[in-house]
Amino acid sequence: MDSVDLSVLKTLQAWQAGELPLWLVTVVETFGSSPRPQGAMLALRGDGLAVGSVSGGCIEDDLVRRALQGQLKIDRCEVVTYGVTQEEARNFGLPCGGALRLVIEPVRDPDWIERVLLSVQAHRLISRTLHLESMQILLNDASRADAFSFDGARLTTVHGPRWRLLIIGAGQTSGYLARMAQALDYHVTVCDPGDEMRQTWNVPDTVLVSEMPDDAVLAFQVDACTAIVALSHDPKMDDMALLEALKTPAFYIGALGSKANNAKRRERLALFDLSQEEIARLHGPVGLPIGSRTPPEIAVSILAHMISIRNQKTESSQVSQSNNQEICS
C-alpha cells in the first residue's frame, strides 16, 4: 500500500510513456485554516487526469480546468495562490479564510522520478531541490533531520520513510498494522523467532527478522522517530522487547492485552532495571479504546493512537527546531 506522495510519483512515472504534458503541483505555504499541509502533492496530466490532493477538491477542479484549456505553463514553474480573499476562499472551498500557495512544475526530465522511487524502495531518505527559475533539480541523500523548505526561489522536499515501526510477532493483527502503517510512511520491521509465523508472513516491502525480541530492539538503533508495538500474544516474548524498548527514546511503545494482563505486565517489568517513569511510557492496552475486536479493528485503534502521539510530537518538534533537536517530519 502506497503513501499519498509515493502514489503521485509512481503515477508521474507511468504517465511519462505518453505524449501529454505533465505537472507536479506542490503545496508550499498555507495561511489560516487549510485542508492540506505543506508538501502535499498532485500529479496532473494534460487531459485533466489527476492523482493526489492539494485541497478539499475545488482547487483540484480549477487546476484540471486550466490544464484542459491550455492555461498552465509547460516551459517554466509557476507560483500561484488560492484563497486570498474571503470570497475566493469560499469559491475554492477553503475554510475560515484559509489560503494555499502552490508551485506548479512542468515535469520534463523523468530521470529524477526513477531515482527517488529507487531510493524510497531501498528504504533510504532522499531530498529533492527544485530551482524554480532554471527548473534544475538536485537530488541528495537525506536524514530524518532534513525538512521541507521553500524560500521563493528553491523548493526542497524529502521523500522516503521518515518514521519506523518495529512490530513484535508476525500474526494476523501485525499484518494489518504493517499494511496500514506503510500508507503513513512507516518503514516496517517485524520480529518473530518462530519459523512457522515467518513462513506465513505475506506483507511486501517489510523487513522480517528472526532475532529474539530484546536483541532486535537493541539492533534497531531506536530513535525518536520509532514506534515499537508488541503483538506476539506471548508474554515472555513481548516482555523481552519491552524491557529494552522502554529504555529507548521511541515516541510510541505499546503492548497487546487486557487491562488486567497489562497491570500484571507492569508488575513484572518493575522487577527489572526499569524506573516507574519508564514503565509509565507503556501504552497498554495498546491503541485507542474504540471497542475493537477483530484484527483489522485492533490495527486501526493502534495506528490511530500512534497518529495522535506522532502529531503531538511533530508540533512540539517544530517548536524545538531552533534547539537542533531531531525533527522527524
pLDDT tens, residue by residue, 144-169? 788 899 999 999 999 887 789 999 99
Sign for the CA dihedral angle at 164, 167, 170, 174 comes to negative
Query: Do 236 and 200 fall within a single domain?
Result: yes
Number of domains, the chain: 2
Q: Reply yes or no on whether the pLDDT at 41 is more than 90.
A: yes
List the domain range (segments joined by +) for residue 266. Answer: 163-314
Query: Do 257 and 287 fall within a single domain?
Result: yes
- In degrees and rounded to multiples of 5, residue 156 shows phi and psi of -115, 125
CA nearest 59: which of 104, 14, 19?
A: 104
Looking up residue 199, the CATH number of its domain turns out to be: 3.40.50.720
In one letter, which amino acid is 4?
V
| Inside any domain, residue 34 | yes
CA nearest 207: which of 232, 225, 181, 184?
A: 181
Query: Do 153 and 8 fall within a single domain?
Result: yes
| Inside any domain, residue 328 | no
| Inside any domain, residue 69 | yes
Which whole number is the average pLDDT over 188-210?
Answer: 91
Which whole number is the average pLDDT over 36-43?
Answer: 90
Sign for the CA dihedral angle at 256, 260, 261, 265 comes to positive
Query: Do 185 and 280 fall within a single domain?
Result: yes
| Inside any domain, residue 92 | yes
Q: List, for residues 235-287, the tens digit of each pLDDT value.
A: 999 999 999 999 999 999 999 999 999 999 999 999 999 999 999 999 999 99
Tell me which H or E stretch contains 103: strand 99-106
What span, in angstroms and rounded, lies between the C-alpha atoms of 180 and 172? 13
- What is the side-by-side order of every strand in the sheet holding 22-31? 50-52, 41-45, 22-31, 99-106, 78-82
Note the pTM of the prediction, 2 decimals: 0.72
| Inside any domain, residue 327 | no
61's grid cell: 477542479
Check residue 3 and give its pLDDT. 67
Query: Do 116 and 252 fall within a single domain?
Result: no
Query: Do 135 and 190 fall within a single domain?
Result: no
| Inside any domain, residue 114 | yes
Alpha-helical (H) ranges within the chain are 4-15, 58-68, 86-91, 111-121, 172-182, 195-199, 213-219, 235-245, 259-269, 276-279, 295-320
Query: Do 22 and 42 fall within a single domain?
Result: yes
| Inside any domain, residue 319 | no
Beta pairing class for 186-191 and 207-209: parallel
Query: Do 238 and 298 fall within a single domain?
Result: yes
23-27, 120-124, 170-174, 197-201: the lowest-pLDDT one: 120-124
Q: List, for residues 284-329, the tens digit of each pLDDT value.
A: 999 999 999 999 999 999 999 999 998 887 666 544 444 444 445 4
Query: How many percent of the chain have pLDDT more than 70?
Result: 88
